[in-house]
Structure 1
Amino acid sequence: MKTSKTYKLQFLLLFVILALCFFTNISLGSVSIPFKSIFGSLFGSIENSTWEVIITNFRLPKAITAILVGSGLGISGLLMQTLFRNPLAGPFVLGISSGASLGVALVILGSGLFGGAFAIALASKWSIVIAASLGSFLVLMSVLAVSHSVRDTMAILIIGLMFGSITAAVVSVLSYFSSAEQLQQYIFWGFGSLSNLSWNELLIFSGIYFVGLVLSIASIKGLNSLLLGDNYAKSLGINLKKNRFIIIIATSLIAGTITAFAGPIAFIGLAIPHLTRQIFTTSNHKILLPAVCLFGAIVMLICDSVAQLPGSDYILPINAITALVGAPVVIWLLVRQRKMMF
């Protein structure tokens, strides 16, 4: 691992790009707002009250959500790729996204099978968030329970995929008995959205996100040692089970919360670690962790800005943009580099 290089210039450049993307994202939309008015709104000196409401109540929370979602998925992807030493591992390989989808499906599609109670639950604004969180939590607990009796890390990956298959089967059964309206609502949730969060919801989202971030930072030493193999990690005094547990919990908190509040957003968690390694040619997680955090936030802000269709009243699904932009990039990286840094 390269430890002597600090990459100060690269980090400075990323911070500048992040700031530009942040203010550009706030300025774009069906109503174009000049940068001067954006700065005025942030510092309490804007004359147009309509613009102030648009910025304060809609665009600013959405931009902050994009930063949290992009950085969180980038961190989760890095943790999973290092834990499983697999370049194709993403933040949802443990079945977290599938568990969230099952929870949401039970609320949205379950009324077709179970009737009134689920229909009443839909009236609550928090019902989908709570359902997604509980679904992710239950799958996480199942994976953790199995991981205590499994020594092989790759076995946990396979178990997570199997949990995903089970939940997908249940969702298929629920879909079969659901109405077209219910299916449409579920599909729209699957598109992902960054614009549905109020300041109170964003506060809760941020709190859980930062708990996961602290756990991720605490696992940096363990992540670096895992790159050299389990035996080397043991020789350094690393408790493999404890380290694996912390990494799984951190990933689940971040990715599960993102899925609950913003829906299942594809590509970012898989591709961002690879894109980051093109600029930061190191395997040291003291460098990679903050780097993927910044890079993920930048890419998500760019994708959200494209999804806005500036000057138009229409907004494209964020999942469509992340896939259209990201999938070709990942293919290009795999063809160009052939061998990933693991």
Structure 2
Amino acid sequence: MRTRFILLILLFIIAFGCDIAFGSVNLSLADVWATLTGHGNDNIYREIILNHRLPKALTAILTGTALSVAGVLMQTLFRNPLAGPDVLGVTSGASLGVALLTLGTTTLPWLLIAGWGQVLAAVLGAVGVLLLIVIVSVKVPQTVSLLIIGMMFGNFAGAIVSILQSTSNPDTLKLFISWTFGSLSAVSWNYMAIMAPIVLIGTVMAFILQKKLNVLLLGEKYAAGLGVSVLHTRLWIILATALLAGTSTAFTGPIAFIGVTIPHISRGIFHSSNHKTIIPASILCGSVIMLICDLVSQMPGSQGTLPINSVTALFGAPIIIWIIARNGGMGK
């Protein structure tokens, strides 16, 4: 197990270096190292690396971490291998917030609609759905019912977004569609100062919940018999997931596949369901996959850029199919 973690860490370092070095302007690893350590003298390289590629690579790590850990939490809470960070409707709520801002308003200045405006709208949308889910989770003891209600919240938000899209003008519709593609390059250092601490808080909460998550794998009745407060544990899981998935969606847009697939990749690599292993493994795997997807989306040596959401989906479908076929089914 230790060897596998070491190999994952080495792969993470390689992916991180390549993501910074390669792009529309290819740089040598020596130039990257010199710039990162403060020994580089080329101002153009410094601008490319320090103000564009480094924050983008860090955003890929934060996004991979947030979505992967959120996926682990949701699959454990609902004991459903297809559960992801969007099952509670938090991602849909964030999308609805951005849609209401970009598609539902035509009189606001452009600067308020783009940038921080989108981030704040996504946060408010995610928080709104979170509050509804928390209220419902107190009233509804069945986890399956909570899953269905979360899906209904997502469908309701999606319906409103579709209505707004059908009635919006082409300019605002293009802005919203661009946001739904997902982007890692939109997170500047100013955004990073807010995104990173929130993702860190959500991740720490997941680590604190490790033992209770392991007990939940045995069933809610068994967990209650061992003295675990299922209701309180569920609320903390929902809060941690909302922080992770909501923050990631707010800053990078909705990114598919990562939250559902990475936990299975981690379990397949380590052949374990122990959250003391799976959570750190998912952090590493999610970060590596996001860095690789970002590298592919840049099409090194080209001026074009692919939507990160499309790249993660293209990577995700074959991987999840391979894992299912290799293990003879989900959860093995």
Normalised by the length of structure 2, the TM-score is 0.97
Unaligned runs of 5+ in 2: none
Cα contact 1:268–1:326 (8 A) shared by 2: yes
Given that residues 107 and 119 in structure 1 are in contact (C-alpha distance below 8 angstroms), is that contact kept between their aligned partners in structure 2? no
Mapped pair 1:42 → 2:60: no
1:91 to 85, 107, 129: 85
Matched, 1:177 2:167: yes
Partner of 1:337 in structure 2?
327
2:117 to 119, 127, 143: 127
Whether the 8 Å CA contact 1:110–1:118 is kept in 2: the answer is: no
2:100 to 106, 111, 116: 106
Identity of aligned residues (%): 48
| Aligned equivalents of 2:29, 2:112: Cα separation in 1 | 42
2:61 is the counterpart of 1:61: no
Deviation of 1:208 after TM superposition, in Å, equals: 0.6
- Of 15, 21, 33, the residue aligned with 1:27 is 21
How do residues 214-293 of structure 1 correspond to structure 2 at under 5 angstroms?
214-293=204-283
SS in 1 for 2:139: coil
Query: Helix, strand or coil for the counterpart of 2:302?
Result: coil
Q: Which residue in 1 is equivalent to 2:70?
A: 76
How many Å apart are 1:331 and its aligned residue? 2.0
- Aligned residue type for 1:116: T
Structure 2 distance, partners of 1:309, 1:254, is 28
Instruction: Find the aligned partners of 1:331 and 1:12 in 2 and give their Cα distance.
Output: 26
Q: Using structure 1 for the length normalisation, give the TM-score.
A: 0.95
Q: 1:120 to 1:294 in 2, by over 3 A?
A: closer
Matches of 1:290 and 1:173, distance apart in 2? 41
User: Contact conserved, 1:18 with 1:297, CA < 8 A, in 2?
Assistant: yes
For residue 340 of structure 1, report the CA deviation from its aligned partner. Answer: 2.5
Alignment RMSD: 1.3
How far the C-alpha of 1:120 sits from its partner, in A, is: 7.0
| Range with greater deviation from structure 2 (261-270 or 172-181) | 172-181
Instruction: Give 1:118 deviation, angstroms.
Output: 7.3
Q: Distance in 1 between matches of 2:41 and 2:108?
A: 48
State how far apart, in whole Å, the 1-side matches of 2:178 and 2:142 are.
38
Q: Aligned pair in 2 of structure 1 residues 118, 80: CA closer, same or farther (>3 Å)? A: farther
Q: CA deviation at 1:121?
A: 3.1
> For structure 1, which runs of at least 5 residues remain unmatched after alignment?
1-6
